[in-house]
Structure 1
Amino acid sequence: MNSSPHTSPVTTLEKLASELGCSIVDEKLAIHLDNEDELKHLKQCFHIPTKKDLPAIEKSLINEEDNCIYFCGNSLGLQPKKVKDYIDEELDKWAKMGVHGHFIGKRPWALSDECIVDLMAKIVELCFLQGCFVGFDLAHAVGNVELHLHDWDVDFACWCSYKFVIPPWNSYTLFHILTLELELSQGVDGFRLSNPPILLVCSLHASLEVFNQTTMKALRKKSILLTGYLEYLIKHYYSENIAEPEKPYAKIFTPSRIEERGCQLSLTFSLPIKAVYQELKKRGVVCDRREPYGLRIAPVPLYNSFHDVFKFVQILGESFDAAQKTEEPNRNKN
């Protein structure tokens, strides 16, 4: 994918489609983009749920052995395959040596965060004090867009890692701060209240090892094109058409400027959100419904593909058709 972060995704897609002799909406383009994707190997680092293991699927509508379309990385990232091994190592150490595990092994519990400092260097940088304190809430930014906290002279920032940085639950909410009138240990260690939670460190360790195989610049480059592709297909197929007032449509209320968004698109529909969401779940799509009428779709560059996007847009059409048929009897009753 020879696209620049500053090039419009549509321009890149049009150029590639022209070279391939097809349209942007052709499946051929999605397959080509995946074949040329320099980050496609990272997908093998994650467990991707199969459709048969999901709740609410309808067996007659799916191939149960297929992987689901997981577009919910904004809410909880997929599990890196090494997580279980790392957690098992610590449980085994606990069973064999008890309290001595605090200072022995690859991840001594009392110092376990120190073993991932080098991996975290891409995320946590020391900043210089610039007059007043400036801080940012980066909950949906870390692991999603490029951050240069040091270059920006940011004094502090906080974020959660269970979204785009992958580890589960509320693991490792990090607080990055510079200088206060306190006598603290050097660096972020001065703000540590107790032993780091070792099982959560294991999850973060496995995740950051994946991030260490690439760069945020490369991830962001793919993300811009991946989300731009999703945006184009949704607008192409499901824009509101005044000439066809009965045709279901979707609206994207995420900013269209790539500088103002990450990988996620938030959608609303002309059909009831609950009906569309249920039909998507039946077909093995995992996404994020938000009351009262929003659906958040997040293709994550670490493990989502262009063909995932292509298939999602097709399934969205099937879900519209099914939801519309469900709503018609209710409309006639009224």
Structure 2
Amino acid sequence: MDINSREHAKQQDEQDPLRHFRRQFIIPSQADLARKTLKHDTNHHNQNEESTYLCGNSLGLQPAHTRTYLERYLDTWASKGVYGHFKPIDDSNLAPWMNVDDDVVEDMAKIVGAKSSEVAIMQTLTMNLHLMMLAFFKPTKQRWKIILEGKAFPSDHYAVESQLRHHGLDVDESMILIEPPSKDNPILSTEHILSIIDEHASETALLLLPGVQFYTGQLFDMNSITAYAQSKGITVGWDLAHAVGNVPLQLHDWNVDFAVWCTYKYMNCGPGSIGGCFVHERHGRVSPRAVGADGEDPAEYRPRMAGWWGSSKSSRFAMTNRFEPIPGAAGFQISNPSVADITSVRASLDVFKQTSMEELRQKSLKLTQYLEDLLAGLTLEQENGSGACFSTITPADPAQRGAQLSVLLKPGLLDSVMDSLEEDGVVVDERRPDVIRIAPAPLYNSFMDVFNFVRAFRQACEKATAISKPQGHSAMVNTGKENKGWSEVK
């Protein structure tokens, strides 16, 4: 069957063993997206037609039972008050608030390939990055540099710069940026990354990289890079904002020193929701030291920014002002976490625990390959007409990408293309000046979503190209055999 046909997409969805998960998410309708109020507009012509939402790399969709869980939390607060911290409730699946963070770490640990003791749900992404760097970045006269990727998310740059200044270091000399060897290709090969490590190894204290690059969608070889950098005496941290819930991870087995992530992208926990961090068990040990002169038995542990939620539960309310760190990542916590946030995390994890990252990855590979194949056909069609208006900048190798393809438009087309997609009820993400990011999330996206996007994108490109042409030139028209399969959706 022609892959450009609607029937092919339908067939793939029918054969998808994970298709039932889509029903566990709320897909905005086209009317939902178009109206300017929360109140339903019963007169909208697309009232019940689902949008094509391919923006889970920016904000994941809401699980259907998130509202139920949050109402349960609110009912507990309303009816139990402070008792909600300590007393289990028979008709609620939510843990008492004192234990909400513990309640989700085991399931989150499976997502990131870690031991439960190595994971903490706390703070937000950049705050966790700061906390981890304060614990792990210990510059000396011999080693004081931090290596990061030149196109890393701006917040990572800000965090690294401020940490360097905090230590009184010159940013220009101390922050090493890994840039692509060619300006025409934004991809960073593993070999190139290792070569930069080699160049600065003797002076580098910390390597910080994204698991999946937000702009290109490139998936880095975290295992090989971690091992190589550590063999040079470098501490290794990973920003997994675009990797968690997207690709299988094995943070413990890869011997990663620390990692941080957010939960509002592929984890579907809501905008600005609480973050997570990983600390390898070797860094989370708490050992007794010799008894002090006052008879106290102090603990030996990795220095960190301490807060009461990282102190032992047995003495947390004793008010002794003596910090007794919880062994593992939990000992790096600062304040009591937002129960509302973790309630949303619980709702999301209750979907993830019905499958595995390996199963999701298999569907993701198929969805993304389908998207790539359709875009390749569209490129050929455009080249046979007035010329291609875009190119794909995400690696073609499936092992080097997650659930995202980034397309680079010709200059000046972005606004028109995005406007057209929005009019058609298609939600994707833009990165100015010229990049569109398309992310088929395997939990709720379908092959029909991908088909609908490429149909709408084809028309958006035609419209944008026609608008950008000088007066007297006709719009791009394709009449060759390459159009086969698209006639039904023109």
Deviations, residues 166-211 of structure 1 (Å, cap 9, x unaligned):
1112222212113153552023221221221011101110101110
Structure 1 residue 40 corresponds to structure 2 residue 19: yes
State the partner residue of 1:211.
352
Note the C-alpha offset of 1:241. Answer: 5.3
- Are residues 1:332 and 2:471 paired? yes
Q: Report SS of the residue matched to 1:320.
A: helix
Q: Which residue in 1 is equivalent to 2:435?
A: 294
Quick one: distance in 2 between partners of 1:217 and 1:39?
Answer: 12
Q: Secondary structure at the match of 2:82?
A: helix
How far residue 242 of structure 1 moved from its aligned partner, in angstroms, is 5.2
What is the rounded CA distance, in whole Å, between the counterparts of 1:122 and 1:184 in structure 2? 24
Q: 8 Å contact 2:408–2:435 — kept in the other structure?
A: yes
* TM superposition shift of 1:258: 1.1
Q: Is the 1:224–1:258 Cα contact (8 Å) retained in structure 2?
A: yes
* Change beyond 3 A, Cα 1:62–1:187: farther
Structure 2 CA distance, aligned partners of 1:56 and 1:315?
Answer: 20
Equivalent in 52, 69, 73 of residue 90 of structure 1: 73
Per-residue CA shift, 1:230-254, capped at 9, x if unaligned? 010011013475553x245321111
For these two proteins, the number of residue pairs brought into alignment is 308
CA contact (8 A) 2:29 2:46 kept: no
Q: What is the match of residue 46 of structure 2? A: 63
C-alpha distance in 2, partners of 1:181/1:316?
A: 52
Paired position in structure 1 for 2:238: 136
Tell me how far 1:222 sits from its aligned partner. Answer: 0.6
Looking at both structures, which has the greater relative contact order when contacts are Cα pairs under 8 Å and sequence separation is at least 6?
1
Partner SS state of residue 122, structure 1: helix
Structure 1 contact 239–250 (Cα < 8 Å) conserved: no
Structure 1 pair 227–242 and aligned structure 2 pair: CA distance change class (3 A): closer
What secondary structure does 1:268 align onto? strand
Query: Which amino acid in structure 2 is aligned with residue 152 of structure 1?
Result: W
Matches within 5 A, 1:261-276: 261-270=401-410, 272-276=413-417
Report whether the alignment pairs 1:99 with 2:82.
yes
Q: 1:188 aligns with which of 329, 333, 345?
A: 329
Query: Counterpart of 2:105?
Result: 117
2:396 aligned with 1:256: yes
Using the TM superposition, give the Cα deviation of residue 120 of structure 1 relative to its aligned residue in structure 2, in angstroms. Answer: 1.8
1:9 aligned residue: none
Is 1:27 matched up with 2:28? Answer: no
Residues 63 and 247 of structure 1, relative CA distance in 2, 3 Å threshold:
farther
1:260-283 Cα shifts (integer Å, max 9, x gaps): 110111112236111011000000
Deviation at 1:24, TM superposition (A): 2.3
Match of 1:15 in 2: none
Give yes or no for contact 2:111–2:357 (8 Å, CA) kept in 1: no
Alpha-carbon RMSD across the aligned residues, in angstroms, is 2.6
CA contact 1:109–1:196 (8 Å) conserved in 2: no
Q: Structure 1 stretch 301-310 or stretch 268-277: which is displaced more?
A: 268-277
1:167 and 2:288 are equivalent in the alignment = no
DSSP 3-state at the match of 1:54? helix
Partner residue of 1:14?
none
Question: Quick one: distance in 2 between partners of 1:144 and 1:150?
Answer: 18
Distance in 2 between residues matched to 1:141 and 1:202, nearest whole Å: 22
Distance (Å, rounded) in 1 between the aligned partners of 2:440 and 2:369: 10
SS of structure 2 residue aligned to 1:121: helix
Contact 1:62 1:284 in 2 (8 A): no
Aligned mate of 1:155, from 257, 266, 279: 257
Q: Does 1:108 align with 2:96?
A: yes
Match status 1:323 vs 2:464: yes
Residue range with higher mean Cα deviation, 68-77 or 150-159: 150-159
Of 352, 362, 386, which residue of structure 2 is paired with 1:221?
Answer: 362
**TM-score (normalised: structure 2):** 0.59
Measure the CA separation in 1 of the matches of 2:415 and 2:444: 27
Residue of structure 2 in register with 1:74 after alignment:
57
Look up the SS of the partner of 2:471 in the other structure. Answer: helix
Work out the CA distance in 2 between the residues paired with 1:208 and 1:136: 22
- Structure 2: where are the runs of 5+ without partners? 37-43, 89-93, 119-226, 284-300, 304-323, 473-490
How far, CA to CA, are the matches of 2:250 and 2:359 in structure 1? 15
Write out per-residue CA displacement over residues 112-154 of structure 1, whole angstroms, 9 at most, x where no aligned residue. Answer: 1112233223035147x98763221111111111101111111
Mapped to 2, the partners of 1:94 and 1:233 lie a distance apart of 50
Q: Which deviations, in whole Å up to 9, do the C-alpha atoms of 1:282-308 show, x marking residues without a partner?
A: 000011011111111001000000111
